[in-house]
């Protein structure tokens, strides 16, 4: 559906996107991550046909975008980070106008607008001026504009930026609901969003792809992956020394101790969680386990490890 091959884009002497290649097919929600200035927006704009590559190609639905941007754009819904809206229009009027520019007229236009108002939960503000909308409704009006022609590809730059937790949830639910039939790329800094809705994460740093995997697999590269948090009915010093001596434990940290219970964090060594050894040891010593959890690792740690701050401009 989207095929990016060896994409490079220069701005004067600066290479903003450097030999980027990836594919996105329907059913994928790809989280495009990277520090400020890493090249995310430039890549999205090249896919959307608003910026020509310095070299390399972008194909959308089998067609080279640079050769015929309008043909590719019929398949694409692109929501830029600060999408412009006509502030002096009413919501419904604006969407009808966009529908017309997309080639819908008469009854077809009305049906499209009604359907999108319903889908984006905008019915109650349909007669409201865009300049009076709250940020959440404004963002959803942008999304409605992006979805109006029912594109197979969605390119969403920071779709939930500036929204409150409830509004974020509404937008994420909408993305999740559309995901099975569309190829979706979301540029975001919000790692929690990647975990919540993305099936794949691509990390770009200084214009180059430095990771491409599922969020779960990336989390496994985190130094905290496999660490064990436990609360055990044993004296602190004894528990620390016994669990610390286990072969699969690299480091022990005491988190808390009270009422004969000790809370510890055990960092795994050798990439294997020591959870089984921990329960075996507790059983042998006759120690009660009150709580036991394995940490999955944090995407944030992986992101920080594989990107650098030199991109920030």
Ligand X SMILES: Nc1ncnc2c1ncn2[C@@H]1O[C@H](COP(=O)(O)OP(=O)(O)OP(=O)(O)O)[C@@H](O)[C@H]1O
Work out how close the CB of 48 gets to ligand X at its nearest, in angstroms, rounded to a whole number: 13
Q: Is residue 2 near ligand X by the rule CB under 6 A?
A: no
Residue with the two structure tokens 């049906």: 111
**Residues 9-28 as x/- pattern, contact with ligand X by CB under 6 A:** --x--x-x------------
Q: Which of 31, 39, 53, 215 binds ligand X (CB under 6 A)?
A: 39
| C-alpha distance from residue 188 to each of 99, 160, 202 (Å) | 28, 9, 11
Q: Which of 18, 33, 42, 140 binds ligand X (CB under 6 A)?
A: 42
Work out how close the CB of 132 gets to ligand X at its nearest, in angstroms, rounded to a whole number: 28
Please count the helices (runs of H) and the strands (runs of E) in the chain: 11, 14
Work out how close the CB of 39 gets to ligand X at its nearest, in angstroms, rounded to a whole number: 5
Nearest one of 22, 2, 29, 23 to 184, comparing CA atoms: 29
- Quick one: 222 or 307, whose CB is closer to ligand X? 307
Nearest one of 46, 32, 35, 42 to 197, comparing CA atoms: 32
Q: Which stretch binds ligand X (CB under 6 A): 29-37, 54-62, 177-185, 268-276?
A: 29-37
Work out how close the CB of 260 gets to ligand X at its nearest, in angstroms, rounded to a whole number: 50
Q: Is residue 36 near ligand X by the rule CB under 6 A?
A: yes
Work out how close the CB of 12 gets to ligand X at its nearest, in angstroms, rounded to a whole number: 7
Task: List the structure tokens of 283.
Answer: 């059983």
Q: Which stretch binds ligand X (CB under 6 A): 33-41, 252-260, 262-270, 286-294?
A: 33-41
| C-alpha distance from residue 36 to each of 24, 55, 110, 132, 184 (Å) | 23, 23, 40, 30, 21
Work out how close the CB of 46 gets to ligand X at its nearest, in angstroms, rounded to a whole number: 10
Residue with the two structure tokens 């790329």: 185
Task: List the structure tokens of 115.
Answer: 């359907």
- Quick one: 12 or 270, whose CB is closer to ligand X? 12
Nearest one of 113, 116, 82 to 97, comparing CA atoms: 113
Q: Is residue 40 near ligand X by the rule CB under 6 A?
A: yes
Q: Which of 10, 19, 37, 69 binds ligand X (CB under 6 A)?
A: 37
Q: Is residue 38 near ligand X by the rule CB under 6 A?
A: yes
Other C-beta atoms closer than 10 Å to the C-beta of 237 total 11
Work out how close the CB of 20 gets to ligand X at its nearest, in angstroms, rounded to a whole number: 11
- Quick one: 258 or 312, whose CB is closer to ligand X? 312
Work out how close the CB of 238 gets to ligand X at its nearest, in angstroms, rounded to a whole number: 50
Instruction: Specify the DSSP class assigned to residue 90.
Output: B
- Quick one: 39 or 226, whose CB is closer to ligand X? 39
> Please, which residues bridge with residue 24 across strands?
2
| Length of the chain (residues) | 313
Q: How many CA atoms within 13 Å lie on the side-chain side of 148?
A: 28
Q: Is residue 41 near ligand X by the rule CB under 6 A?
A: yes
Say if residues 37 and 189 touch (Cβ distance below 8 Å). Answer: no
- Quick one: 51 or 122, whose CB is closer to ligand X? 51
Other C-beta atoms closer than 10 Å to the C-beta of 207 total 24
Residues that bind ligand X (CB under 6 A): 11, 14, 16, 34, 36-42, 313
């Amino acid at each position: 559906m989207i095929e990016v091959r060896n994409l490079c884009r220069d701005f004067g002497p600066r290479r903003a996107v450097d030999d980027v290649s990836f594919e996105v097919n329907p059913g994928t929600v790809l989280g495009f991550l990277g520090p400020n200035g890493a090249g995310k927006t430039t890549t999205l704009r090249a896919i959307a046909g608003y910026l020509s590559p310095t070299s390399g190609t972008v194909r959308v639905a089998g067609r080279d975008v640079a050769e015929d941007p309008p043909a590719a754009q019929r398949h694409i819904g692109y929501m830029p980070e600060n999408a412009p809206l006509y502030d002096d229009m009413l919501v419904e009027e604006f969407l009808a106008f966009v529908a017309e520019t997309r080639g819908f007229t008469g009854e077809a236009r009305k049906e499209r607008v009604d359907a999108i108002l319903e889908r984006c939960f905008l019915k109650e503000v349909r007669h409201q001026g865009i300049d009076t909308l709250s940020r959440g409704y404004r963002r959803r009006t942008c999304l409605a504009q992006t979805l109006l022609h029912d594109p197979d590809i969605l390119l969403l730059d920071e779709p939930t930026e500036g929204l409150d937790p409830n509004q974020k949830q509404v937008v994420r639910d909408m993305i999740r609901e559309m995901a099975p039939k569309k190829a979706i790329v979301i540029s975001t800094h919000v790692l929690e969003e990647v975990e919540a809705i993305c099936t794949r994460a691509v990390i770009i740093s200084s214009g180059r792809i430095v990771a491409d995997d599922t969020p779960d697999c990336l989390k496994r590269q985190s130094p905290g992956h496999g660490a064990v948090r436990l609360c055990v009915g044993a004296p602190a010093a004894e528990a620390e020394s016994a669990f610390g001596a286990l072969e699969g434990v690299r480091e022990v940290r005491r988190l808390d101790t009270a009422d004969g219970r000790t809370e510890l964090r055990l960092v795994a060594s050798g990439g294997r969680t020591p959870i089984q050894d921990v329960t075996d040891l507790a059983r042998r010593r006759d120690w009660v386990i009150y709580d036991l959890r394995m940490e999955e690792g944090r995407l944030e740690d992986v992101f920080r490890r594989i990107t650098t701050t030199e991109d920030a401009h």
